Structure 1
Amino acid sequence: MGLLKRNPFGHILILKKWLIRFFGLMTHRRFRGFNELQIEGSEIIKNLPDTNVLFVSNHQTYFADVTAMFHVFNASLSGRVDSIKNIGYIWNPKLNIYYVAAKETMQAGLLTRIMAYGGAVSVERSWRSKGKDVHREINLNDTEKIGIALKDGWVITFPQGTTKPFKPIRKGTAHIIKNHKPIVIPIVIDGFRRSFDKKGIRIKKRGILQSFQIKPPLEIDYENETIEEIVEKLEYAIEQHTSFLKVIPREVIEDMEDLNEKRKWEY
């Protein structure tokens, strides 16, 4: 690898590699030590192509979710099935893994700016800004960046766009799937909300059994399935469809319907 070799976003790969190594070493005990990460299905990872793979997941914290994925993906690629034992796998990480994140979150401070260099595709949320609801046009440059990331490698996205459970899927994720036709891998996580604070930086409670399930690729008819059909398929795949709730308060249903309408074209 040339010392100044860069990815399509201009990031120097050797610097990105050392950042991933550093954060990997710093965070490993959060998933194997202070808490225990129970992994299922990671054998799928090693058989995926090098590019145009989209991981879709439910969301519980800002950063711990993505951090766990970097650990699991790299461990699997190094031959560890359903295990992140032995941190040695982080020495030669996959460098074309990206994750979609809100621009305001990644620009909130020096630490998040450094973390963004590790693979963030920062996008401007069209429905939320500085803790307030907004309604603005989609930034087409943001959707183009996600396409560039898919062409270069793997992309992680949280299609609900929030850490609150059972919120509607943003339809923009379905548009990305139809436009770029990636292999779509669902992931379902749990225990992170109990383990960490909302940002996923501070350990809130120890001894939590965290779960991380990787499911087989979704079967999607890119040409004939509608946006609504793909959205529903995503909701079931990441177990955020309302059918997974036993009792749904009326205000929750109304909130979901309202957000579905507002997020019709959001990415």
Structure 2
Amino acid sequence: MGLFKKNPFGHILFIKKWLIRIMGVITHQRYKGFNKLEIEGSDIIRSLPDKNVLFVSNHQTYFADVVAMFHVFNASLSGRIDSIKNVGYLWNPKLNVYYVAAAETMKKSLLTKVMAYAGSVSIERTWRAEGKEVKRQVKMSDITNIGTALNDGWVITFPQGTTTPWKPLRKGTAHIIKRYKPVVVPVVIDGFRRSFDKKGLRVKKKGILQSMVIKEPLEFDYENESVDSIIEKLEYAIEQHPSFLKVIPKEELLAYEEENQKRRFRAPSS
């Protein structure tokens, strides 16, 4: 790799590699020390093509979710089996991994700008801006940028556009799937909103059992399947379809956070 080789967004890969290494070392203990991350599906990661893969996930914090995925994806590609043990897997990270994030969020501080350089595909939200509800047209340049990232590698997206559970999925994700025909891999995470603050920067509680399940790629009829059908498949796959709520008694929903506090593990003394 040339010292000044760039990706399609103009980011120097040498710099991106070192950012991922440094941030990976700093954040590793969040998933393998203070808390424990249980992983399923590392074999699926290793079976994927090098590009045009779209990971679709539920969302619990602004940054901790995607940082965990960077760890899991690179550990899996390095041969770890459902584990992120030994952070050495970040010495040669996969550099064509991107994640979709709100441009407004990624411009807020030096830290978010650094994280953006490490892999953000920043888009303008059509439904919210500066904490207020808005309605505006999707920018075609945003769609094109996501397509550029897919053509170069893997893209992580959180189609609910919010960390609040059970919210409807944004239909833009379905349009991207129909247009670019990527391999679509569902990811289901849990435990992150109990471990971290909303931004995912501060450890809120230690000893929390986190989980990440990587599922088999979904099958679509890219040409003929409707947007609504694609959205419904995604909702079921990331376990955010409204039907999941119907089987949960109201009392359990009200006690959701309290009950999940019990999903803890006792950290080893070593």
TM-score tier (shorter): over 0.9
- TM-score between the two structures when normalised by the length of structure 2: 0.91
Paired residue secondary structure (2:28):
helix
Question: Which residue does 2:242 correspond to in 1?
Answer: 242
In structure 1, what is the equivalent of residue 3 of structure 2? 3
Partner of 2:62: 62
**3-state SS, counterpart of residue 202 of structure 1:** coil
**What are the superposed Cα offsets for residues 192-218 of structure 1, whole Å, 9 maximum, x if unpaired?**
000000000000000000010000000
- 2:51 alignment partner in structure 1: 51
Q: Which runs of 5+ in 2 are unaligned?
A: 252-270
Query: C-alpha separation between the residues in 1 aligned to 2:3 and 2:208?
Result: 41
State the secondary structure of the residue aligned to 2:56.
Answer: strand
Give 1:160's aligned residue.
160
In 2, distance between residues paired with 1:199 and 1:148? Answer: 27
The correspondence of residues 126-145 of structure 1 with structure 2, limited to 5 A, is 126-145=126-145
C-alpha spacing 1:100/1:42, structure 2 compared with 1 (3 Å): same
Q: Which runs of 4+ in 1 moved over 6 A?
A: none
Q: Which position in structure 1 is the counterpart of 2:260?
A: none
Which residue number corresponds to residue 189 of structure 2? 189
Aligned to 2:95: 95
Q: What does 1:1-267 correspond to in 2, within 5 Å? A: 1-245=1-245, 246-247=248-249
Residues matched between the structures, number: 249
- 1:153-184 residue CA offsets vs partner (Å, 9 max, x unmatched): 00000000000000000000000000000000
Letter aligned with residue 137 of structure 1: Q
Q: CA deviation at 1:243?
A: 1.0
Q: Alpha-carbon deviation of 1:223?
A: 1.2
Secondary structure of the structure 2 residue equivalent to 1:185 = strand
Question: Once superposed, what is the RMSD of the aligned Cα atoms?
Answer: 1.0
- Hey, what's the Cα distance between the residues in 1 that align with 2:158 and 2:199? 15
Q: CA deviation at 1:125?
A: 0.1
Aligned partner of 2:192: which letter?
F
Structure 1 CA distance for aligned equivalents of residues 53 and 81 of structure 2 = 19
- 1:145 partner letter: N
- Please state how far the C-alpha of 1:81 moved relative to its aligned partner: 1.2
Residues in 2 aligned to 1:247 and 1:169: alpha-carbon distance in whole angstroms: 23
Are the structure 2 counterparts of residues 132 and 10 from structure 1 closer, same or farther at C-alpha, using a change threshold of 3 Å?
A: same
Q: Distance in 1 between matches of 2:250 and 2:132?
A: 25
Deviations 1:124-169 (A, max 9, x none): 0010001100011111100000000000000000000000000000
How many angstroms apart in 2 are the aligned matches of 1:216 and 1:68?
Answer: 19
Counterpart CA distance in 1 for 2:244 and 2:206 is 27
Instruction: Tell me the distance in 2 between the aligned counterparts of 1:54 and 1:99.
Output: 9
TM-score (norm 1): 0.92
Deviates more, 1:5-14 or 1:136-145: 136-145
1:117 partner letter: Y
Q: Give, in whole Å, the separation in 1 of the partners of 2:177 and 2:142.
A: 15
Alpha-carbon distance in structure 2 between the residues aligned to 1:69 and 1:138: 27
SS at match of 2:71: helix
Matched to 1:125, the amino acid is: R
Q: CA deviation at 1:248?
A: 7.2
